[in-house]
Amino acid sequence: MATVELVNPRGGIDKTFSILIKDGIGAGSYWLPSGAPGGQYKLRAYTAWMRNFDEKDGYTKELFVQKTQMPLLLMNLDFERKAYSAGDEIQANLEVKTQQNAPLANYPLTYTVNVEGKNILTAQARTDRNGKIALKAILPQTIRSADGILNVMINYDGSTEAISRSIPLVMNNLNVQFFPEGGYLVENVEGNLAFKVTNEFGKPADVEGEIRDDSGALVTRFRSAWMGLGSVDFMPREGKKYHAVITSPQGITQRYDLPEALHSAYSMRVSAANKNTLKITVHTPNIVIKMITTFFSG
């Protein structure tokens, strides 16, 4: 058995109860009454054996208790892109509604942008008739950490309502993975090359970039479609090697090698000709076979 004590902010013990310990694990619960004061509480647990030694105070855990209040406004704040870097213009879309789910139309607000703990922008703005607004700011030309915060404050009905979001900043440390359709690139055969981009924290990062050959010549451009995911049509030429470079966000100097294309292989590509027709193209080392398949639903 273990004894658990709940110590209130004044240092007194509000509650003492026992929990059963089995294999070193126990569980228990206690509801704070609605009139309990807010502040720093302490949860203290110990066994009778521990009271004989220096561990007489046992295990302690500090808890902060405060009264909660329902927000007066319903706010939604999302960034337009999943990745920004030094010098980029950020854009976050804000939507504000009242508790009655009505748009907070034509209402003033203040927003601030902080990067690396420094305020780079404090600006006034106003929602449109639908309670929406696009908040914008230019990031510094030099950023040394991914610490960025956008904070929005609205004075409403005698209270200050606020919402904050971390700016999805990326440094020179993106992870770019390529996934050729069918598993391999094949020389002189056009295929669909899917890709996935994450930042240094494993979160999706939206990017734009270019594919170049080993001489540096531009072959094609690509752009992620959603959550760092995308695809691009690409035909590797015989004897060539390819790499990708990121053009947005800016400042990413790393090159990302594409998988090496096979000289001779079978491949199959499926694409939609229209809503009822699939086009299937099969490539063999010596011949190309094209098939049209029509299907009907219902």
Q: What DSSP assignment string belongs to 212-249?
A: EETT--EEEEEE--BTTEEEEEE-PPTT--EEEEEEES
At 107 the pLDDT is 97
Is this model's pTM higher than 0.75 or not?
no
The pLDDT of 174-186, averaged and rounded, is 89
Domain ranges of the chain: 2-65, 73-166, 175-264, 266-298
At 293 the pLDDT is 60
73-166 and 175-264 share one fold: yes
94: nearest Cα among 113, 81, 76: 76
| 60 membership: H or E segment, kind and range | strand 59-65
Cβ within 8 Å of residue 58, ≥6 positions away: 2, 44, 45, 46, 47, 50
DSSP-assigned beta bridge partners for residue 177: 196
Other C-beta atoms closer than 10 Å to the C-beta of 156 total: 17
In this prediction, residue 292 has a pLDDT band, given cuts at 50, 70 and 90, of: low
Q: Is the pLDDT of residue 131 over 90?
A: yes
- Between 58 and 123, the more confident residue is 123
Q: Is the pLDDT of residue 63 over 90?
A: no
Domain 73-166 class, CATH top level? mainly beta
Side chain identity at residue 182, one-letter code:
G
Q: How far is CA 84 from CA 97, 166, 167, 168, in A?
A: 28, 11, 8, 6
In this prediction, residue 290 has a pLDDT band, given cuts at 50, 70 and 90, of: low
At 277 the pLDDT is 83
Side chain identity at residue 144, one-letter code:
R
Q: Is the pLDDT of residue 287 over 70?
A: no
In this prediction, residue 1 has a pLDDT band, given cuts at 50, 70 and 90, of: confident
Q: Are strands 208-213 and 218-223 parallel, antiparallel or unpaired?
A: antiparallel
At 87 the pLDDT is 87
Q: How large is the C-alpha radius of gyration of the chain? A: 29
Fold held by 175-264: Immunoglobulin-like (2.60.40)
- Between 268 and 92, the more confident residue is 92
Residue 178 exposure: Cα atoms within 13 Å on the Cβ side: 24
225: nearest Cα among 254, 194, 271, 252: 194
DSSP assigned state of 38: P
DSSP assigned state of 286: S
At 254 the pLDDT is 87
Rounded percentage of the chain residues whose pLDDT exceeds 90: 41
Q: Report whether 127 contacts 135 (CB < 8 A).
A: no
Distance CA 16, CA 19 (A): 10
- Per the prediction, the chain carries an average pLDDT of 86
Q: How far is CA 250 from CA 33, 89, 112, 140, 166, in A?
A: 54, 11, 23, 12, 19
Residue 190 exposure: Cα atoms within 13 Å on the Cβ side: 7
Least confident of 122-131, 147-156, 221-230, 243-252: 243-252
